[in-house]
Amino acid sequence: MTAGRDDPWLMRTYSGHSSAEASNALYRTNLARGQTGLSVAFDLPTQTGYDADHPLARGEVGKVGVPIAHLGDMRSLFLDLPLDQMNTSMTINATAPWLLALYCALADERGIDRAQLSGTVQNDIIKEYLSRGTYIFPPDPSLRLINDVVVFCADHLPKWNPTNVCSYHLQEAGATPEEELAFALATAIEVLDRVRANPALDAADFPRVVGRISFFVNAGIRFVTEMCKMRAFTELWDEICRTRYGITEARYRRFRYGVQVNSLGLTEQQPENNVYRILLEAMAVVLSKSARARAVQLPAWNEAMGLPREWDQQWSLRLQQILAFETDLLDYGDLFDGSPVVAEKVSALKAAAYAELARIEAMGGAVAAIESGYMKRRLVESNTRRLRAIESGEQMVVGVNAYIDSAPSPLTGEADEAIMTVDPGVEQAQIDALHLWRANRDEAAVVEALSALKAAALSGDNIMPPSIAAAKIGVTTGEWAAALRSVFGEYRAPTGVGAGALAKDRGLAIIQAEISDLAQHLGRRPKFLVGKPGLDGHSNGAEQIATAARDCGFEVVYEGIRLTPARIVNAALEEGVHVIGLSILSGSHTVLVEEVLAQMNKAGIGDVPLVVGGIIPPKDAERLIAAGVARVFTPKDFKITAIMREIAALLAQKAAA
């Protein structure tokens, strides 16, 4: 390496699938190819606190990440990987205390000093209420659990990042750069205010705690704006640490962040173009030295089509390596210092972020802004504006609404071969292994450990010590979460789909007239149920469909995320709906849709049209149509008003029959 050259950032690939054993093999392969840090993706049952044999886990096991039910799975996941020499990032939130407890239990088992463990748990529940939906408990107990992890790490894991404030999914949910800045900083303030007030933390340790707060951000395609956003983040955080928290040491005020560049902008149409998008987005977070990411993970070119293969992940890793090792990027100081254009843009972003922070503060902080629905409503409205701009052509997306003529791509000649699929047998294998694990443990000790866990939750004691003890006894993810559910209860966040949000901005006169005619024929307004079956909490698409359907004239039934097929069908029956629309992005569409169809037939409403949207490969779409689905929509169907007209035509055809 050239003298004086900066060290490169940590290079990660967000990965995990099928089983702990398969994921371990993938990690060892990626590390051998030059990856310098692990970024663990967990499946939805693990993220939401269910074991593989729970009814809500059906179809979801191993689909978007690795299933981890107990210490045995954690042993398999990190087999032959040196925990004390690695930097491990775990994208886990509601169950973050539990996964960290399992990690600590594994380190203890191997005789590794916890103080040597280096890594991150995301542990940001605020954005789960706003975007990803993998929350379990209400806001206050959830913030208490984050607080417990922060204080525990301050005492026992000094090299660990105990919370990773995540604005990535805010942008995925539609946030503008100003909203991404403000909402993320409001979350960090909410956490630190509570930590500072915690009597269990020595006040002298607080600056060190602030220094361990990290962030995980998004970088979109608007290269200059995104680079300026990162400089604004850096300056804002420094100012907040100084003025609000009195942090005098510069090292504790440093804005430490990792990044995954934008997946929202990846296109199913001409997906090869995504390679250029990913490169430009990566450059936005590494070019400015003063605001350079400390860790980068990049999506694969084909993620809008399905689960990336090992080779696709390698391609993204090579992009990082070329940037870091072939270019002269790391040889120079900051390229943008002194630029009046950059300074002006950064100043504007900071001013807008401070104004938004003031609004949130006036409401009582981030939790109050969540519970009132304010933050969620803002994201839904911003996303609606974004989609409207793409649909109208105001925002150009190459290969989607501009330059759509294309030669056949050799990369996607066989579209179903361009992605990885998870063996359906993985779920049953995980269930069988879970049952074997339970059969071979000391049940009396498990009961005692769960009792101690509940007692800590009730008393306000730190949740981490009894969680680690429970991990060592053999408690499972579902049992840990169920114990805390019994104390804290469960939560359903606001949907953000309010009345008449942006109807005036949509040129919908034609379809509104069509829906009006259909209503006259039916004798009432057509009723559209939008459902999110299973554990997939990415509700952005469902919210936009619900909003558009309401604006077009449908009566809309939308209860939010995480619904069983039986609950969806029961709601359809009780509400007397004319059409059911399901949104599934987790890859579990085949199992869940077929279950909904079976439940519909059992309930006697099999004649109600069922439409489905999600990242659905062509062969799966054919299977769903053959099973009785009326229409399948994928990311290439970006014109929401066209979708509404197609559904309206479907209902009109049925009414005329």
- Decide if 169 is catalytic: yes
The answer to whether 118 and 107 are in contact (CB under 8 A) is: no
- Decide if 354 is catalytic: no
Query: What distance in Å separates the CA atoms of residue 248 and residue 241, rounded to the nearest whole number?
Result: 8
Q: Alpha-carbon dihedral of residues 338, 341, 343, 348, nearest 10 degrees?
A: 180
Amino acid present at 442? D
Query: What distance in Å separates the CA atoms of residue 190 and residue 175, rounded to the nearest whole number?
Result: 19
Query: What distance in Å separates the CA atoms of residue 163 and residue 165, rounded to the nearest whole number?
Result: 6
* Active-site residue, from 73, 536, 551, 620: 536
Query: What distance in Å separates the CA atoms of residue 435 and residue 285, rounded to the nearest whole number?
Result: 45
- Decide if 538 is catalytic: yes
- Decide if 423 is catalytic: no
Region of 352 on the Ramachandran plot (φ > 0 left; ψ -120 to 50 alpha; else beta): alpha
* H or E element in which residue 494 lies: none
- Decide if 532 is catalytic: yes
- Decide if 521 is catalytic: no
Query: What distance in Å separates the CA atoms of residue 146 and residue 194, rounded to the nearest whole number?
Result: 10
Kindly provide the residue ranges of all beta strands, DSSP E only, lying in 379-479, ordered along the sequence. Answer: none
Query: What distance in Å separates the CA atoms of residue 542 and residue 184, rounded to the nearest whole number?
Result: 23
Distances from the Cα of 519 to the Cα of 330, 516, 522, 546, 646, angstroms: 63, 5, 5, 18, 16
* Residue indicated by tokens 């939750």: 457
* Active-site residue, from 54, 345, 350, 532: 532
Query: What distance in Å separates the CA atoms of residue 628 and residue 606, rounded to the nearest whole number?
Result: 9
Structure tokens given for 480? 């840990």
* Active-site residue, from 168, 257, 491, 558: 168
CA angle 202, 362, 177 (to 5 degrees): 90
Question: How many CB atoms are closer than 10 A to CB 140?
Answer: 12
* Active-site residue, from 17, 169, 229, 472: 169
* H or E element in which residue 502 lies: none
Question: How many CB atoms are closer than 10 A to CB 531?
Answer: 28
Active site residues: 14, 168-169, 532, 536, 538
